[in-house]
A and B are shown apart, each in its own frame.
Chain A
Amino acid sequence: DDHQLSVEDLELKYQTNVTKVRGMNSTVAGEILLRDGPNELKPPKGTPEYVKFARQLAGGLQCLMWVAAAICLIAFGIQCGQGDLTSADNLYLAIALIAVVVVTGCFGYYQEFKSTNIIASFKNLVPQQATVIRDGDKFQINANQLVVGDLVEIKGGDRVPADIRIITAQGCKVDNSSLTGESEPQTRAPECTHESPLETRNIAFFSTMCLEGTATGIIVNTGDRTIIGRIASLASGVENEKTPIAIEIEHFVDIIAGLAIFFGGTFFIVAMVIGYPFLKAMVFFMAIVVAYVPEGLLATVTVCLSLTAKRLARKNCVVKNLEAVETLGSTSVICSDKTGTLTQNRMTVSHLWFDNQIHTADTTEDQSGQSFDQSSETWRALCKIVSLCNRAFFKSGQDNVPVPKRIVIGDASETALLKFSEITLGNVMEYRERYKKACEIPFNSTNKFQLSIHELEDPRDPRYLLVMKGAPERILERCATIMIKGQELPLDEQWKEAFQTAYMDLGGLGERVLGFCHLYLDPGQFPRGFAFDTEDMNFPTSGLCFAGLISMIDPPRATVPDAVMKCRTAGIRVIMVTGDHPITAKAIAASVGIISEGSETVEDIAARMRIPVEQVNKREARACVVNGGQLKDMETEELVEILKMHPEMVFARTSPQQKLIIVESCQKLGAIVAVTGDGVNDSPALKKADIGVAMGIAGSDAAKNAADMILLDDNFASIVTGVEQGRLIFDNLKKSIAYTLTKNIPELTPYLIYITVSVPLPLGCITILFIELCTDIFPSVSLAYEKAESDIMHLKPRNPRRDRLVNEALAVYSYFQIGAIQSFAGFTDYFTAMAQEGWFPLLCVGLRAQWENDHLQDLQDSYGQEWTFGQRLYQEYTCYTVFFISIEMCQISDVLIRKTRRLSVFQQGFFRNKILVIAIVFQLCLGCFLCYCPGMPNIFNFMPIRFQWWLVPLPYGILIFVYDEIRKLGVRRHPGSWWDKELYY
């Protein structure tokens, strides 16, 4: 409420001295500094590093693996206690399991750490300086030393060091776009103009930029108590939504963990009933858990996501939170900020009206657009006025910089006009030199015009040229003639009508319109060297010749309309949420396609049909513009209703809280919401959104902190790339997971058969870990490189409740069909290896107890040969290895079929995904290495196996391939049939 107090009250309240410009007493200031703390935003409370790391170790699957490791250790402990030191397998397994958890944890932690570092590098570490008056003297101190009550000075180019109540101001304008989203500079003056502190003119906000002019003021809020600080704390109060992929993976982990414990528990009980000792039954339980849990899955998912994140980074999207990659893919609503996101965040000349015609200027960022006809005399006159009646200038030393990128000293409209004339005319600075300025009246809010008087270029022409620009209606008042095609015509009613129409048209586009006029002064009355007096205005300021109108707007980025179009075809709704005025917002929304051509708002329909707004059937209006005032009076249900009714929405004049409410309402509709924004005002919404996308160049630190993704080039179109990549990664993760899950069945069945039929163990736990974490990782990651099967940007976003990552069909098909085939392949190879070494299949059944008796050193095989325990153990390792190889061979077939879910692999192409081919080759090499590297038998229980045992699973591999082709053929031929329903995942 400080903006409503008088200066005297403020002095009292803050123990300062304004009237005598003495400022605060520095000792008092020191005390207040101690009381309030430094004037800076507290960084959001970070999670301690060890908690982050611990979180990586305590996921669902990890917990299951901890349990398995604990069981292993207990089993080992009991074995030790019984004095049985023959086998340390359980210890190895426990160590391996713990290593797996820790290594994947470290990997995840490293990923998180890396992205945190990217963010940290964005922060600007240069301390800000501020000019403060204390004890009557001016000081330059660090802005963080400022306290409430300090008298500070700001000038053009400074960042406002705290929330300041303005005491005096000269032409002070600030850029509030990061706070409110208004793209136009806001005047700051001592008068209180509004009861809301956000709207009133006599408060300048912390961290906004002062664009021009000077001001002094009293600091009324510092640090976290500033408006910005409050918004930032609002953002930190918003809970982070769980990402859809996290939900998917949790859902999946729940299923897996449930099934693993169910299977493990069942077999534990079965084993106890059959009569195994408790310890043995525990080990079975543990083995089943190890076999059933896809240990490598989390690593695969993380790697797939980080690969996509890398790919996106190359396209200028930095992903802070890996899971956000996929979120973008399932996004169904994008709430976009206007300024700086959809628009270029710089005023640009967009239209001109002269010769009774509206001309369109080139507003593209790189000046690649069409230019208008510049042959008219009127244009030349107008151009002269634009160039001369302008106080803005380029900062020196920028000759090599393209015009749109040059730094200009001056306000936004003058900058726009300067750049415009620089582009159309050439060197404006030199041009101004040629027309020497005799005198000038700068723009002020009472006159609402700006004029200057110049000598002419030609020294023989003694006339002076008076040029003027300003608010169009004020300019028109002062004109007597109008220039049409170089001819001065009297300004009659007809021309005034034409002017009004043009003014209304341009204003309706949400553009800021300026009028331009000039007058050649009579050389008799005003000879060279005439002393013009700007106070008395001893020169004519009426009866001028009207040259034209120029309108300016913060134009949309060139790539945005296309990107919005792509979002639409991809079934994504784009909603504009801005702090700017409704008219401007609507105009920009229409020009980028957020409001499509032909869509009307309720007001438009009312105007067209000439009926009151209340009589319009609201359902007929596709578009709707809601401003913050209306929003304030609305119930949440009402907002949801509006969001449902109108597909094309624009929210204008919204506050940060309202942005938050809009996002929440969209989420209530079941949408997955992406929010793009750059300002502090966007940060709560960015955080609330399922995925927040901040702008890298224009974005404030607060926005970047709250966001999950940062567009380095501030290009909205990058979001479309992100959506595409996100959708692709969802599809590919599905394939990857299907691939990873399949092998759990051939890993599990050996134990089931081992327990129930009592054959010698076909597959060991360590071998399973090798499949999960070593050989199969590469193919499953390589599926992330798979190309899309169809144009994914023409599909609707997935329904997060229906289209799950792991659905029933996927699990059933992987487990009970492909997994079953793989199991048969493994057992065929197992029985082959056993039989060829002398153990016939029927002998194997029920052999387990004798086979594992380590005192029995002369067990007879089918031929009557006698085996020692050690020989049997190596034979068992041989079985592990052949089973391993069988799974590998089938998995090669599996990865080939997983390339597509619908199309034939022949349509997709075998070798298009080079990474996948390399991964298969690498997998084979790893398999060979594990089998044939010396020393393996005693370390990892791999034996060098015979070549033909590699070939035994081949028929099953071919069966998998053929079977899946038949499945896909059926799915393609008979969509909607039971085949499709059961077998399409």
Chain B
Amino acid sequence: NSLRQPKPSVWVEVLATVLTTTCPLCFAGLILLFYLILYMFLAGMFSFCIYGLLLTLSPYTPTYRDRVSPPGVMIRPYLHGFTIAFNVSEPSTWTPYVNSMHHFLQAYDDNIQEEKNIECPAGQYFVQDGAESKEKKACQFKRSQLQNCSGIEDPTFGYSTGQPCILLKMNRIIGYRPGYGTPVSVNCAIQKGNESALKSVDFYPGNGTFDLMYYPYYGKLTHVNYTSPLVALHFTDVKKNDFVPIQCRLNGEGIVNNVTNDRFLGRIIFTLSIGM
């Protein structure tokens, strides 16, 4: 303490004495005021920084897309996990799946698609030039394209017969062109165990490919009516009364489907358990 030279300027001394001795509340107030100013300044600086950050961001295209690509895969029906277990003879066990499918496919109803989206030439990317902020058109993906899995002829998606349909969806990435010109296809196999448990799978539409015309995606701000293309997996002959682990992979150039840390990157693993 003797570090300090004992010659404070007079007014500071007077002020300090007045504040500390005669009015302890004033002193506390002074400290509070000090912190108020400090934190207001800090909050202001923080807001300014965030404001500056937001100014540099484009609302249409993310600055970086390295973390989100290559795409992940997701399935429907999705209730709470990746085990689809039901008993054919007990409708209550599979109705939730069926409802989930119907709900998901509402957006793909043929009339809705025809009304909102346009028909695009298949087999090529649907590149839309022009201003970034311009609204982008989306290509039709009709429910009927899913054929046996469309839920039109069989509103139970095969669940009532023990041949369930599962819809496969590739995650959306802005500007991503999957397959670099060749459509990405899907195949499914037993993840591990007896190969004979999964005898046949039908793929719709086509042979289980994502057509190029649905890409690239332009973001939710401009590509409002975009509906992700789907591939329906129709498990027509699966071993019953058993847990069958199935892995479905995307195949195509630029697709990564063998990372151990992320089992949903370019592939998906789920378990079918169909009771008769």
Contacts and interface: CB of A to CB of B under 8 A. Distances in A.
Interface in A942-962: 946, 952, 955-956, 959
> In the complex, which of the residues A789, A828, A831 has the most CB atoms of chain B within 10 Å of its own CB atom?
A828
Interface string B72-87: 1110001011100000
A557 to B, nearest CB: 30
B4 A866 contact: no
Interface in A757-799: 789-790, 795-796
> In the complex, which of the residues A835, A855, A865, A976 has the most CB atoms of chain B within 10 Å of its own CB atom?
A865
A870 B63 contact: no
Nearest to A977: B12
A795 B264 contact: no
B82 A855 contact: yes
A841 interface: yes
B16 A874 contact: no
B1 to A, nearest CB: 8
Contacts, number: 162
Contact of B62 (A820, A863, A938): A863
Nearest to B223: A864
Nearest to A857: B264
Nearest to B6: A975
A816 interface: yes
B30 interface: yes
Contact of B45 (A855, A955, A973, A975): A955
> In the complex, which of the residues B39, B73, B74 has the most CB atoms of chain A within 10 Å of its own CB atom?
B74
B57 interface: yes
Contact of A866 (B8, B67, B172): B172
A869 B82 CA distance: 14
A64 B223 CA distance: 54
A422 B131 CA distance: 107
A749 B90 CA distance: 52
Nearest to B82: A855
Contacts of A978: 15-16, 19-20, 27, 30-31
Contacts of B186: none
Nearest to A855: B81
A855 B9 CA distance: 67
Contacts of A820: 38-39, 42
A838 interface: yes
A655 to B, nearest CB: 38
Contacts of A841: 50, 54
B264 A864 contact: no
Interface string B199-243: 000000000000000000101110100100000000000000000
Nearest to A978: B16
A450 interface: no
Contact of A975 (B8, B35, B262): B8
A858 interface: yes
B68 A865 contact: yes
Interface residues of B, number: 65
A863 B220 contact: yes
A350 B217 CA distance: 103
Main secondary structure of the interface of B (DSSP, over half): loop
B39 A938 contact: no
Nearest to B56: A836
B197 interface: no
A667 interface: no
B63 A863 contact: no
Given A855-B82, A861-B62, A863-B219, A975 B57 contact: no
Interface in B230-276: 259, 261-265, 268
Contacts of A832: 53
Contacts of A837: 62-68
A836 B64 CA distance: 6
A82 to B, nearest CB: 14
A982 interface: yes
B19 A817 contact: no
A863 B5 contact: no
Interface in A832-852: 832, 835-838, 840-841
A92 to B, nearest CB: 15
A835 B53 contact: yes
B174 interface: yes
A871 B68 contact: yes
A824 interface: yes
A111 interface: no
> In the complex, which of the residues A796, A870, A981 has the most CB atoms of chain B within 10 Å of its own CB atom?
A870
B63 A976 contact: no
Interface in A307-337: none
B114 interface: no
A857 B65 CA distance: 17
Nearest to B49: A828
Contact of B261 (A866, A870, A875): A870
Contact of B171 (A795, A828, A835, A858): A858
Contacts of A821: 42
B46 interface: yes
B165 interface: no
B265 A871 contact: yes
A978 B26 CA distance: 11
Nearest to A816: B35
B13 A977 contact: yes
A975 B5 CA distance: 7
Contacts of A200: none
A795 B13 contact: no
Interface string A798-825: 0000010000000000001100110010
B72 to A, nearest CB: 3
A156 B60 CA distance: 102
Contacts of B261: 870, 938
Given A836-B57, A869-B264, A977-B16, A864 B72 contact: no
B211 to A, nearest CB: 19
Nearest to B38: A817
Contact of B259 (A795, A869, A870, A980): A870
Interface in B1-48: 1-9, 12-13, 15-16, 19-20, 27, 30-31, 34-35, 38-39, 42, 45-46
Nearest to A827: B46
A956 B42 CA distance: 9
Contacts of A938: 261
A851 to B, nearest CB: 13
Contacts of B82: 855
B101 interface: no
Nearest to B4: A975
Interface in A632-671: none
Contact of B72 (A817, A866, A980): A866
B166 interface: no
Contact of B13 (A875, A955, A976): A976
A796 B1 CA distance: 9
Contact of B4 (A861, A946, A976): A976
A863 B69 CA distance: 14
A878 interface: yes
Contacts of A946: 64
A170 interface: no
B188 interface: no
Nearest to B228: A866
Contacts of A827: 46
Interface in A912-949: 938, 946
Given A790-B3, A863-B220, A865-B174, A874 B8 contact: no
9 contacts: A795-B3, A857-B171, A867-B72, A871-B72, A955-B45, A975-B5, A975-B8, A976-B8, A980-B4
Interface of B: 1-9, 12-13, 15-16, 19-20, 27, 30-31, 34-35, 38-39, 42, 45-46, 49-50, 53-54, 57, 60-68, 71-74, 78, 80-82, 169, 171-174, 217, 219-221, 223, 226, 259, 261-265, 268
Given A837-B67, A974-B8, 18 more contacts: A828-B50, A835-B53, A837-B63, A840-B57, A857-B264, A863-B60, A865-B62, A865-B65, A865-B172, A867-B67, A867-B72, A868-B264, A869-B262, A902-B3, A955-B49, A973-B9, A977-B15, A980-B4
Pairs of residues from A and B, 4 with the lowest C-beta to C-beta distance, nearest first: A870-B262, A864-B220, A868-B72, A866-B171
